[in-house]
Structure 1
Amino acid sequence: MRILVLFAHPVETSFGAALHAKLVEVLRARGHKVDDCDLNAEGFDPVMSRQDRIDYHNVAVNRARVAPYVDRLLAAEALVFSFPVWNMGFPAILKGFVDKVFLPGVSFTLGEDGSYNPRLHNIKRLGVVCTYGGGRLLTFMMGDPPRRFLTRSMRRICAPGARCDYLALHDMNHTRPERRAAFLEKVEAKFSTW
């Protein structure tokens, strides 16, 4: 399977980077073709410019500035997000990627009547590996926006019936090495079944 891994963490020595490395290692060991997209290392520009917004709904030109990323997304059969949750949301670089690459004509179309039509049907499976600074209860009370977005909105634009595996380590601010090691093992076990 062709898998696009979207990684968003600016520090290469972080636990997030270790999770990302384990994820890619396991997927490659399973024989998948992994397109490892480290947004920070690639210098992705997450800012939606004035012109980006003006061109957003014009499918003839909207992907011009992000065409290589659109091509990678459209070539994938599965998509895996690897990121830390900051302030109950995505790191800015990942949010910008979603805003600028998951465009009309790429991941959805709008009908003449304004109807929303998903079209990213090349993506048959989603995966998420993330960490939260806050605990599970706080995350639940805040509505867990990243989980809701990825398991509902993102899943909706993918192939009908696309499965989503969401692995989250909560309360990173209080984790000990053994808990982080156990989560790395959980990531390895889950993605070894892909």
Structure 2
Amino acid sequence: MRTAIVFNHPYEASYCNAILNAVTKGLKNANHEVDLMHLDNDGFNPVMSSADLKAFVEHKPIDPQVIDYNQRLEKADHLIFIFPIWWDQMPAMTKGFIDRALCPGVVYDHHPRGFGLVPLLKKLKGVTIITTMNKPKIMYSLFNGSLIKKAMLRSVFKTMGYKNLNWLSFTSVKSVSQKKRENWLINLEKRFSKFN
């Protein structure tokens, strides 16, 4: 299987990077081919320009980086996002990837009957979102209604018609013990070592 990972965190020593390493190691243990789209290292521009929007409407991306990401998404059997939750939402680069790289005509299209969307990534079997945050889980859920679940799983991928959608949320990251953070990484590696 080929797993595409969309990663967004600018700090190399972040816990998100540790998660990326654990997930990648697990996937490779399971003989997955891993395709990393590191938005920060790639210098991805999240801003939709007027030319980008025109291309978006015409279903013909013009940015070489977006075209490259599109081609790689078409080859993926599974898609994983890894990013921190800042101010209750995803960072700008992740949002920009959704806006600019999840292109109509490539990732989804409008239903021929005129209502709803249909998925176009025929190989894609599922999407997993892995996030970190310093807020406690119950606070994020009660006061913010689990915005990532609503914004990414429901509003984006479920609306497009994709199945097998999962969200792994690591909360209170700074306040939990080092041992707990280490155990999370061990369990992630084990989880993705059995991934199919």
TM-score w.r.t. the length of structure 2 is 0.89
Task: State the SS of the aligned residue for 1:133.
Answer: coil
Q: Contact 2:70–2:106 (CA<8 Å) still a contact in 1? A: yes
Q: Taking structure 1 as reference, are residues 11 and 51 closer, same or farther at Cα in structure 2, changes over 3 Å only?
A: same
Per-residue CA deviations over 1:109-149 (Å, capped at 9, x if unaligned) read 12576423222332102222211121111111201111233
Pick from 58, 62, 65 the counterpart of residue 64 of structure 1.
62
* Structure 2 match to 1:110: 110
Q: Is the 8 A contact 2:82 2:129 kept in 1?
A: yes
How large is the RMSD of aligned CA atoms in angstroms?
1.8
Which stretches of structure 1, 4 residues or more, deviate above 6 A after TM superposition? Answer: none
Aligned-residue sequence identity (percent) comes to 27
The match for 1:17 is 17
Give the aligned partner of residue 166 of structure 1.
Answer: 167
CA distance in 1 between counterparts of 2:84 and 2:170 reads: 9
Of 152, 157, 174, 1:154 maps to: 157
The residue that corresponds to 1:34 in the other structure is: 34
| Conservation of the 8 A alpha-carbon contact between 2:3 and 2:77 | yes
Aligned CA distance change for structure 1 residues 176 and 19 (closer, same or farther; 3 Å): same
Q: How does 1:45-84 map to 2 (within 5 A)?
A: 45-59=45-59, 61=60, 63-65=61-63, 66-84=66-84
- Residues 151/190 of structure 1: CA separation in 2 closer, same or farther (3 Å cut): farther
1:44 touches 1:93 (CA, 8 Å); kept in 2?
yes
Deviation at 1:156, TM superposition (A): 4.5
2:178 paired residue number: 177
Task: Give the superposition deviation at 1:103.
Answer: 1.3
The residue aligned with 2:137 is: 136
Unaligned runs of 5+ in 1: none
Change in Cα spacing, 1:57 to 1:19, as seen in structure 2 (3 Å) is same
Give the stretch that moved more between structures: 24-33 or 165-174.
165-174
In the other structure, the counterpart of 2:44 is 44
1:88 aligns with 2:88: yes
CA contact (8 A) 1:124 1:158 kept: no
Return the TM-score normalized by structure 1: 0.90
CA contact (8 A) 1:9 1:17 kept: yes
| Structure 2 letter corresponding to 1:174 | S
Question: Bigger CA drift: 119-128 or 86-95?
Answer: 119-128
How many residue pairs match? The answer is: 190
Give the Cα–Cα distance (whole angstroms) in 1 for the partners of residues 18 and 161 of structure 2: 28
**Structure 1 CA distance, aligned partners of 2:137 and 2:83?**
17
